[in-house]
Amino acid sequence: MARAKIGIIGATGSIGVQTISVIAENADKFEVVFLSAHQNASALKALGERVNAKHLILTGDGFGELERVIDDNELDIALVGASGTSIIPIAYQLACKGIRLAIANKECIVSAGRQIMAAARTHSSVIMPVDSEHSALFQCMAGNNRCDIASFILTASGGAFRDTPADKLKDVTVKDATTNPNWKMGRKITIDSATMMNKGLELIEAHMLFDIEPKKLQVVIHPQSIVHSMVSYLDGSTLAQMGNPDMRVPISYALGYPDRLNSGVSPLDFSKAMELSFCPPDLKKYKCLDIAIRVLNGGKSAEMIAMNAINELAVDAFVKEKLSFVGIGDMIERCLADLSYAEPNSVEDVLEIDESVRKRVLNG
């Protein structure tokens, strides 16, 4: 059986490195066409040698070479592990190739989900979510009719400050915010987990990926991160996808679907005592989640693009100690109220809005 030809964007990041691990576990199933990274040449070279990658690409000076390699090579699967909105044109290019596109980039779907999903439908590309929550939803939908879905329930760890009183958050540090109790992730997404903006972005992602109306989407805090998400059905049944909190599981599912690959992750051991608990999030404490829910219910892509861009700037300001932790939500809410844009009709429109928002916010 021919090996699947795969390319990985953001190979040196957390998702990329874990994807390499899954591929190495299943070397007989994949041929690595390319690996890309922003600027970490030594790490990229080491990863390329591990999986015998054909092309190694640095994108720090632009995406021209990556675009050419994508155009010139046959691909079966592409995994987008790089973060940020700059990768949107590449994701769109891949969606137009009629391949399997595994996406771990929240910003792509939140800001340009409508354009990317439309391109995938037109060109018969299959979009496979890599976020653990959306992978769980995908799996819980398998074999069931969409019209029978009552609700999607996304679980959240609660982040670094799950047990911290709201009135103590004004004094937390960057170091405090970059430690997730359950997941090993990059710095920006770990901070988003602490503010729970990541869960707000994931609600918008679920809406885009699965075309589910906002009123059917909800979030619960699940401290153990064993249940990764759930789907409730009209007959009263709720299906949950469970597993140890390790991103190699959703990565392997996205790469191997409909088959399951050896991810290198051990299954849950139900012979040992285990506690599963759930509670609703406090939207006063998690202001960023509250803002994202309001933006989702508003249904305007331009506002979703703006919220994502402002959040990135606010997190960056927090990391540089120019903004307090609670100031992240305050900045997003304040800046959103001052901005208004027409709805985007193309990827170019999305990028123009994103750039304009960033300039206006940075220039005060």
Q: What is the arrangement of strands in the sheet containing 149-156, beginning at the earlier edge strand?
A: 217-221, 149-156, 227-233, 238-242
**Residue 71, CB-side half-sphere exposure with 13 Å CA sphere:** 6
258 occurs within a structural domain = no
* Residue 249 in domain: no
Of all helices (H) and strands (E), which one includes residue 275? none
Residues 29 and 117 in one domain: yes
Q: Are 114 and 143 in a shared domain?
A: no
Position 348, amino acid:
E
The number of distinct structural domains making up the chain is: 3
* Residue that finishes a domain, picked among 233, 258, 292: 292
Same domain, 87 and 154: no
Residue 92 structural domain: 4-129
Q: Same domain for 238 and 218? A: yes
- Domain termination residue (choose one: 257, 292, 327): 292
Per-residue tens of pLDDT for the chain, all 364 residues: 689 999 999 999 999 999 999 999 999 999 999 999 999 999 999 999 999 999 999 999 999 999 999 999 999 999 999 988 999 999 999 999 999 999 999 989 999 999 999 999 999 999 999 999 999 999 999 999 999 999 999 999 998 899 999 999 988 999 888 876 666 667 888 899 999 999 999 999 999 999 999 999 999 999 999 999 999 999 999 999 999 999 999 999 999 999 999 999 999 999 998 999 999 999 999 999 999 999 999 999 999 999 999 999 999 999 999 999 999 999 999 999 999 999 999 999 999 999 999 999 998 7
What CATH number should be reported for the domain holding residue 363? Answer: 1.10.1740.10
**Residue 45 and residue 168 in one domain:** no
Query: Is 259 within the bounds of a domain?
Result: no
Q: Do 181 and 278 share a domain, yes or no?
A: yes
Shared-domain flag, residues 344 and 213: no
One domain for residues 43 and 169: no
- How would you class 62 by CB atoms within 10 Å of its CB: exposed for 0-12, middle for 13-18, buried for 19 or more? exposed
pLDDT, tens digit, for every residue of 226-280? Answer: 999 999 999 999 999 999 999 999 999 999 999 999 999 999 999 998 999 999 9
In a domain, 115, yes or no: yes
My answer on whether 168 and 308 are in the same domain is: no
Count of Cβ atoms closer than 10 Å to residue 213 Cβ: 9
54 and 84: one domain?
Answer: yes
In this structure, are 24 and 36 located in the same domain? yes
161 and 280: one domain? Answer: yes
In single-letter form, the type of residue at position 129 comes to P
What is the bridge-based pairing of β-strands 217-221 and 77-80?
A: unpaired
* Domain containing residue 122: CATH number: 3.40.50.720
149-156 vs 126-129, strand pairing mode: unpaired
